Amino acid sequence: MNQGKLVFAQLMQHLPLTTFRRCVARYQGEHKVKSFSCLDQFLSMAFAQLTYRESLRDIEACLRAQRSKLYHLGIRSAVARNTLANANAVRSWRIYADFAQSLIGIARPLYADEPFAVDLKDTVYALDTTTIDLCLSVFPWAPYQSTKAAIRLHTLLDLRGNIPTFIHISDGKLNEVNVLDQLIPEPGAFYIMDRGFHDFARLHRFHQAGSFFVTRAKSNTQIKRRYSHPIDRSTGLICDQTILLSGVHSPLYYPAPLRRVRFKDPATAKTLVFLTNNFTLPALTITQLYRCRWQVELFFKWIKQHLRIKAFFGTTENAVKSQIWIAVSVYVLVAIVKKRLALSATLYELLQILSLTMFERLPLDQLLAQFPTAENERYPTKQLFLFE
């Protein structure tokens, strides 16, 4: 008797499999493959992300223990660690990168009306980079320092829903400011970035495209004040100025006027100086926008803690990038399911529930909607207490 689909299979139903097959065909991912397809590889790695597996041997042991349910999970071949390791090392990571981008394209419209910390209708992105340390002898393709290896995740985060819209994976030596060359500026959008992306020639390209940026000013930035705007000093604002760059080369790189906002944070008593090319928003809104940049730091912390992107199942560049892109796909998939099922639980809570219920047959909406709240976490009236 059919008792319903497994929770894992219900979750994977939200994947656009037609798009996945197109990605596989684009990079010939199944050329001369007789068994263990790219979909089997993706589902096995997604299972590892959702259940916090720690190694290929761990994945193999768990799935072999449930081999009678593999077909119902959507996996059509037996999972062996050597087969999975070879698939991760050989099949192009671009398959999973393109598929993750298609999932991001599905997720972003779902979060388009998500409330934002700043009363602003425009799209706001936060750009930042995080470093994942590796062993140089095991990952020689990712040099960082003389005795150390690392990879860097350069991420552009849509702050409505915290959906990553752009991710570039590089070795540890790539300077983060070079990532600006790979971004296509979106007219009317705001890009929030720290001083690591302080390059006036690249920022001027964003200005010419009709995009806005908010960044911190460096202490040695040479400027010439053109005009001072009135401010309310009780809010922590010190000055709101229209300036021109006055260095040797910077006026050639950025000849247009800039806006300089100086602000003293009442909570920390720290003075911050911001540069932006937007002259219409209130000065206090500019400071609030930069405060929202912290969301990308929280995103990095979240995925490092709750997804498998710090300990890798393979040592080749292809295996590492495949694992990271599949982890991103899982993150975005759970975000899509949260919105489609109108769930109030956080992504962390959903992942914790899913990690323990992959082989259950409860309907997914009922399972995830039953997350207990503080109001119903009470003792039954007939429950006896041990200590009174």
Q: Is residue 127 part of a domain?
A: no
With 0-12 / 13-18 / 19 or more C-beta atoms within 10 angstroms meaning exposed / middle / buried, residue 360 is middle
Q: Is residue 330 part of a domain?
A: yes
Q: Is residue 156 part of a domain?
A: no
Hey, what are 366's tokens? 């009922």
Residues 272 and 319 in one domain: no
For position 1, what pLDDT does the model report?
36
Helices (H), 129-270: 200-208, 250-253
For position 372, what pLDDT does the model report?
56
Residues 17 and 91 in one domain: yes
Residues 280 and 322 in one domain: no
pLDDT band at 380 (very low <50, low <70, confident <90, very high): low
Q: Is residue 172 part of a domain?
A: no
Residues 320 and 284 in one domain: no
Last residue of a domain, one of 247, 276, 291: 291
What is the dihedral sign for C-alpha 218, 222, 228, 234?
Answer: positive
Q: Is residue 152 part of a domain?
A: no
For position 185, what pLDDT does the model report?
93
Residues 207 and 280 in one domain: yes
pLDDT tens-digit series, residues 139-165: 999 999 888 999 999 999 999 888 999
What is the percent of the chain with per-residue pLDDT over 90, rounded to a whole number?
65
Q: How far apart are CA 168 and CA 188, in angstroms?
A: 23
Q: Is residue 272 part of a domain?
A: yes
Q: Quote the number of domains for the chain.
A: 2
Residues 355 and 285 in one domain: no
Sole residue written with tokens 């979240």: 302
pLDDT tens-digit series, residues 191-235: 999 998 989 999 999 999 999 999 999 888 899 999 999 998 888
Q: Is residue 212 part of a domain?
A: yes
For position 383, what pLDDT does the model report?
53
Q: Is residue 297 part of a domain?
A: no
Residues 319 and 281 in one domain: no
Residues 215 and 252 in one domain: yes
Give me the domain span that covers residue 239: 195-291
Q: pTM value?
A: 0.89
What is the chain's percent helix, strand, coil content, to nearest 5? Answer: 40, 20, 40
Residues 261 and 328 in one domain: no
pLDDT tens-digit series, residues 280-315: 999 999 999 999 999 999 899 988 888 888 889 999
CATH number at residue 225: 3.30.1370
Residues 282 and 328 in one domain: no
Hey, what are 177's tokens? 């400011």
